Chains A and B, each alone.
Chain A
Amino acid sequence: MLTAAETGQFESFRPKRFAQRYGLDPFLGFMLLLTSCFGLLVLYSASGQNEYMVIRQAAHVVVGLGLMALVSQVRREVIIQLTPVVFLVAILLLVAVLLFGVGAKGAQRWLDLPGLPRFQPSELMKLALPAMVAWWLTRHPLPPRHSHLLIAAVMLVIPVGLIAKQPDLGTSIIIAGSGFFVIFLAGLSWRILGALFAAGLAALPVLWSVMHEYQRARVLTLFDPQSDPLGAGWNTIQAMTALGSGGLMGKGYAAGTQAQLKFLPESHTDFIVAVIGEELGFLGICLVILMYGLILGRCLLLTSRAETHFGRLFCGSITMTFFVYVFVNLGMVSGVLPVVGVPLPLISYGGTSIVSLLVGFGLMMAMQRTNRVLSGDSS
């Protein structure tokens, strides 16, 4: 029988079926592509019509999607088996960052190994930690016993501590969250959860005392941005002004005065959503939230469909972490959360974050494919 290419009959090529054959989730893949392309469009405006930056970001997206497809082909068992090794490697790399890392503005976050492109080992940890905690908890019956929880907590605290020491508060919070979600989904008892919450409240003064001066300033300006309008409050004031002045319909694409006149800082990275809000208005923001909502909904569906406990815990954690990204970023830009360096996923400019996000989605898809191909339809 001749293939479609040989016969020239292209009508037999159906993307959905093609994707399914290779274990790619067509709906999720499409949404990711759509959001990324929307991101490129926004980036063009936010960067002050900088084509070079858009091309670079497009390259990041292509590489990320490629890696996603590649990772989705890996067999589930391999991922599970590799988990402890990858986790250990990630820990070692984080230690290496503290010892020989490079960075800027007083933080040491990057590793510049010979022969490799510069990268942030904390990005690897974003995937390695939830996988590791899921790997550990699913070796025992759920809900986990206290002793198992304790070990999971240690697994969580070590990388979070290492990253917080860089210091990178935003990432360490995200990673702590990703590990916590695994434990939560695995059935952490509500009583412990309540106790943790209470302990967390009690620990706030301690946290305050170990925070860096600039971090405290950010928290303080959250309550009163006008207290230091030229200093730490600047970002928040400008972002809220950009959003608010956008109104329902926005000022028009590439016509936001806040963004285009560079009143808005970090407009192409952490504060890019303020550009959307200013230029495309409340409707534009709702569109963004809708896209994220669809991605999250699909991810939840995939999570519930994942066959093994490991797969479910891991997928659930990735989904929730993705949500945290969106929520923290939107929260800080709209002035309800302190300014921590968390990018808006898929839209903010930046290579490592987009690639590691898409790889995470690839792993999520891998948890699906092996379901079907290896064990047939088990339902």
Chain B
Amino acid sequence: MELRTGIRERQLISQRLVVAACGAGVLLLLLIVRLSWLQLVEHERFVTASEANRLQTLPVPPARGQIIDRNGIVLAENTPRLQLSVIPEESDDIEQLVAEIRARIPFSDDEIRTFTSSLKARRRPREPVVILDELTDEEAARLAVDAFLFPELRLQASPRRYYPFGGLTAHSLGYVGRLALEELQDIDERRYAGTQMIGKLGIERAYEEALLGQVGVERVETSARGQIMRTVERKDPVPGDDIPVYLDIGLQAKMYDLLGDRRGAIVAMDPATGGLLAVVSAPSFDANVFTGGISSARYRALQNDRDTPLFNRALRGQYPPGSTIKPMLGLVGLHYGAVTWQTRINDRGFYQLPGIEHRYRDWKRWGHGQVDMDVAVIESCDTYFYEMAVRLGIDDMAAGMAPFGFGRRQGPDVTGTVPGILPSRQWKRDARREPWYLGETVIAGIGQGYWVTTPLQLATATNVMARRGTFIEPHYAVRPDLEQGVPVNLGTPNDWERMIDAMEEVMHGEKGTARASGQNMSYRIAGKTGTAQVIAIAQDAEYDENEIDERLRDHAMFVGFAPAEAPSIVVSLIVENGGSGGSTGGPIARALFDYWLIDRKGGAVPPDMQFVEDVNSRVIARTYADGG
């Protein structure tokens, strides 16, 4: 029985073995059929393919679109450069190769590190990896002598993004940088075949789609060494679109010139369109350091700079708006009936909530006396606005100010903006989980407390004043679709005109806070000064500019537009730790308005390029001063 089972089992296995062997035999036969088809039947075709194999398919990257300012001056262009790269699949020993190159061309450790990390990064098969980003003609010649030793090297001309005024435009144009691994997930990789750069910030990023263009394909015949002999077939790339922007390089330069070594930001806008004429944040940096693959040492130096040149103060700097928003607040107060033009308040130099000891001080220690709305705006009376804020209440204040654009991101093509904070009861409950206190309403009345805004937001809000009551999204590019104003329903046209008259008095009136800057003028400015506190001053202490550490001094602010009756430019500016808005902000604003309206005749006269270049070289000097 046992034995019979054994024999049966053995027969079973043998049967199965025969089945398996037959299966294997059939499959091997099929393989032979397939191979004979490939090698005998289709032989000719593959011979051609193999001959043509030196025919390589290469992506041809499109030329990136240019960014062109309102005068037709190119702000971002492509310049030729010689790039040295290697196809890692063709190299047996890359370290040896690098050593060989190094023996011929100087090559920093930092560049080697950059190369090794890009070598490790994920890439398509046979995609060249850049070794040296920019070779001088002399270096290229030295390498060319021994080129036959290194068939795996590719020396090719590939355009480099260049910003002729890289220091002036870094914070508005942004820059392109090497396509990072994380970014591969968000893009269509095929469109970037052969392209190593992508817009990282600013206009370069916002209009990446349009600037990029369509990749082309080229079939080239290469010799056994991989050198390109001739182009067999070519589908031309479609270059990216040029993006015309409202930016004015002359105005940008003038702003950096006026700011000098100070930290700050200036935004200028065209009231008719909401187009951004200038967006400036100082100190700046040379955007060109990013297009060539920035060295880590230089990047660290920029990052560790105490004055944060990489930080975009114009779009991301959050400052209390201070008194600059008083004209708008005034309109809100009038609209909600908290005050009328006739309301008078007696200012004794401070404001007190009923039954509370605490004194909310006016900037003028002895007070402004009897004050109505006009005077309160012209002289920037704090007490009037404390009183008005309490009458108005924080929620109506927030509701009235929201249409000016506060508390939210703005600018559909402005990247990297922050929303700031427009405080309200609801906001505080959501963000802080705390109830609102009346004292916080008081200081909100002069743009302090939780309230923070960016220079861009202040420019946009001031533009609503300039346009007599319509809001328009700020934007860089010429975009008719964005240039429809949205009405801000506050008060009557008369209220707006009267408030603008008060803003003119700020500049030109006998008691205006910026009257020193408003003398001897052929046109009129409507403006408002502001001084944002950096630290709270103790109840009875005197604020003494000279005694306080420079970094703790107040920020000087100014918003305004000119000519007041038919504005062609809106400006908002902040000078960090600059002191008072009247004494520091006013003169800068006056100089800007003069430059724009008189020197440039509202943009009709092209900018002085020598001046632009001089300022740019001063601005970028800092980038190369140390660490790099």
Contacts and interface: CB of A to CB of B under 8 A. Distances in A.
Contact of B45 (A235, A244, A262, A265): A244
16 contacts: A142-B9, A142-B12, A143-B12, A185-B16, A187-B9, A230-B124, A230-B193, A241-B46, A244-B39, A244-B46, A245-B51, A246-B39, A309-B10, A320-B24, A323-B24, A323-B28
Interface string B29-69: 00110111011101101110111011001010000000000
B21 A277 contact: no
Interface residues of B, number: 43
A220 interface: no
A282 B35 CA distance: 7
Nearest to A300: B21
Interface in A223-273: 229-231, 234-235, 238, 240-248, 257-258, 261-263, 265
A248 B20 contact: no
Contact of B126 (A230, A257, A281): A230
A176 to B, nearest CB: 16
Contacts of A331: 31, 34
Contacts of B51: 245
A364 B358 CA distance: 98
Interface centre among A262, A312, A335 (most CB of B within 10 A): A262
B28 A261 contact: no
B539 interface: no
A122 interface: no
Contacts of B34: 331, 334, 336
Contact of B39 (A235, A277, A323): A277
Contacts of A265: 89, 125
Contact of B59 (A185, A230, A246, A303): A230
Interface centre among A235, A245, A326 (most CB of B within 10 A): A245
B57 A230 contact: yes
B35 A141 contact: no
B17 interface: yes
A153 interface: no
B542 to A, nearest CB: 66
B224 interface: yes
A185 B19 CA distance: 9
Contact of B49 (A245, A292, A336): A245
B40 A248 contact: yes
A285 B35 contact: yes
A231 B49 contact: no
Interface string A287-328: 001001100100010011000010011001000100100110
Nearest to A330: B31
Given A185-B20, A285-B39, A316-B13, A257 B124 contact: no
A201 interface: no
Interface centre among B16, B38, B89 (most CB of A within 10 A): B38
A303 B17 contact: yes
B50 A185 contact: no
Interface of A: 48, 141-143, 181, 184-187, 229-231, 234-235, 238, 240-248, 257-258, 261-263, 265, 277-278, 281-282, 285-286, 289, 292-293, 296, 300, 303-304, 309, 312-313, 316, 320, 323, 326-327, 330-331, 334-336
Interface in B351-387: none
A257 B53 contact: yes
Interface centre among A242, A261, A286, A327 (most CB of B within 10 A): A261
Contacts of A261: 53-54, 224, 226
A261 B87 CA distance: 13
Q: Which 5 A-B pairs have the closest CB atoms?
A: A244-B46, A245-B50, A282-B39, A142-B9, A245-B46
B17 A234 contact: no
A106 to B, nearest CB: 9
A184 B19 CA distance: 10
A312 B90 CA distance: 47
A162 B439 CA distance: 66
Contact of A241 (B20, B50, B57): B50
Given A316-B13, A334-B34, 9 more contacts: A235-B125, A261-B53, A261-B224, A282-B40, A289-B32, A309-B13, A327-B27, A330-B35, A334-B31
Contacts of B10: 309, 312
